[in-house]
Structure 1
């Protein structure tokens, strides 16, 4: 783990900008951290605690994940996601909105879910999952003139949430597994998983030797990615946040960090 930390610090130093990193071997409990307490604008990484808050509200019987919501004209916002191209009036299950929020980073699905559970419930979930310094205030692409604050996270806090999901210690083991399975379907893979190996099998569609449940987030000068990497019987949580950096450099660095963690896992390093 010490060598991995040196590698990651070297990669981020060469890239420039400011980085917050937390990596934890979930099998040994060993971890490495760099600027782990620095606050970063959350971007779409905030959608992971929103997902957890929706699952928690469903557990409290406020609604069922199979219940439906209707897309309204007033829900229309831009940015990422496919719902902005759909006609208001379509009806979708809450579970499908969660999936769209995570795998496509759909901003409209996100805002509908925020309206469903409320900001207080999201912040409560963040506290309950160990996100002590992070906070949620605003929906996506909606910027009130008078804002209470900004959506902000730290690498340490995001790692706490990821570890909670990985160990099945929030709501229920089944709920945590459902959330991880949704995150494994992530379609934006130009960050941490970008340089991970493809399948060695000549059969088209064969599985890769790894899986990653993750959620990226980005905006001008900022590029984040956070998730749980599974390889063989091993699992490692990885949170990497960045600001004041060019997109190409940030994505290349994220990918090299992902590759370095994978090398650590497959080498069986325990130190």
Structure 2
């Protein structure tokens, strides 16, 4: 049985102390890039995915490119019904704009653009994405439908209150499979990692990691964050001297601000920093 399922990895005291005083529910999963699970806590707990659902959409789109059914240079038109609020910039653009698949994937990840995501979901199909999720072995991840849709455009599942889901265990598995070349061919693996390294949200995993005298991170981080009401997440690969994959999911704080100093954001950044120094000491 998967060690993550058994949750057998006891946390070191310096990490357990942060977990115990965490303001809300915290799920974490940390492994080296060979796949050995090092630190786990409630890793199979299911959370609302928020923008983490964009990771399997990324790999599904690139896998579809590999089959020849889609090209990175295909242009997909921006339809009015796909323009939704929240993260990103495309909801402010003129309807009819046609961006390449590569541009849409880039916007979906680096600024978490919800409209770009909806254009890709429309092209790929929800069922295709969910089949991809199952095929790559994610157990707790499910795309319920397009993001941020108004009530009159929601699908049947969304109208019942269902939302897309995932877990720290699933996200860590996705990161490891991407890095190990199990999701995509070398060309598209490199493309996906390159996009993830450009994510502009550096408020959690990268926030308190070492920086040089110019304030720049001393090593690369390939990551994706997620944020909705009561939830803050961040998952990624930290390419430090001893590299590792880390998935941090949280919920439950009464802090309703959309703010860089949201209490969950600050707490997760502290957990990330503690994990970094534990990893480098191994």
- TM-score, structure 1 as length reference: 0.90
Deviation, structure 1 residue 28:
7.2
Provide the C-alpha distance between the structure 2 equivalents of 1:265 and 1:27, rounded to a whole number of angstroms. Answer: 14
3-state SS, counterpart of residue 210 of structure 1? coil
Task: Tell me how large the CA RMSD over aligned residues is.
Answer: 1.9
3-state SS, counterpart of residue 220 of structure 2? strand
Deviation, structure 1 residue 145:
6.5
Deviation, structure 1 residue 16:
2.2
- In the TM superposition, what are the counterparts of 1:1-271 in structure 2 within 5 Å? 5-27=12-34, 29-142=36-149, 143=151, 144=154, 146-147=156-157, 149-200=162-213, 208-232=217-241, 234-245=242-253, 246=255, 248-267=262-281, 269=282
Deviation, structure 1 residue 85:
1.2
Q: Contact 1:77/1:84 (CA < 8 Å) preserved in 2? A: yes
Q: Contact 1:165/1:177 (CA < 8 Å) preserved in 2? A: no
Q: Using a 3 Å threshold, how does the CA distance of structure 1 residues 41 and 164 change in structure 2: closer, same or farther? A: same
Q: Contact 2:11/2:41 (CA < 8 Å) preserved in 1? A: no
Between the two proteins, the alignment pairs up a number of residues equal to 262
Q: Using a 3 Å threshold, how does the CA distance of structure 1 residues 128 and 28 change in structure 2: closer, same or farther? A: closer
3-state SS, counterpart of residue 15 of structure 1? coil
Q: Contact 2:28/2:247 (CA < 8 Å) preserved in 1? A: yes
Q: Contact 2:109/2:196 (CA < 8 Å) preserved in 1? A: yes
Q: Using a 3 Å threshold, how does the CA distance of structure 1 residues 63 and 27 change in structure 2: closer, same or farther? A: closer
3-state SS, counterpart of residue 186 of structure 1? coil
Q: Contact 2:118/2:147 (CA < 8 Å) preserved in 1? A: yes
Provide the C-alpha distance between the structure 2 equivalents of 1:7 and 1:218, rounded to a whole number of angstroms. Answer: 26
Provide the C-alpha distance between the structure 2 equivalents of 1:172 and 1:236, rounded to a whole number of angstroms. Answer: 21
Provide the C-alpha distance between the structure 2 equivalents of 1:192 and 1:39, rounded to a whole number of angstroms. Answer: 20
Structure 1 unaligned residues grouped into runs of 5+: none
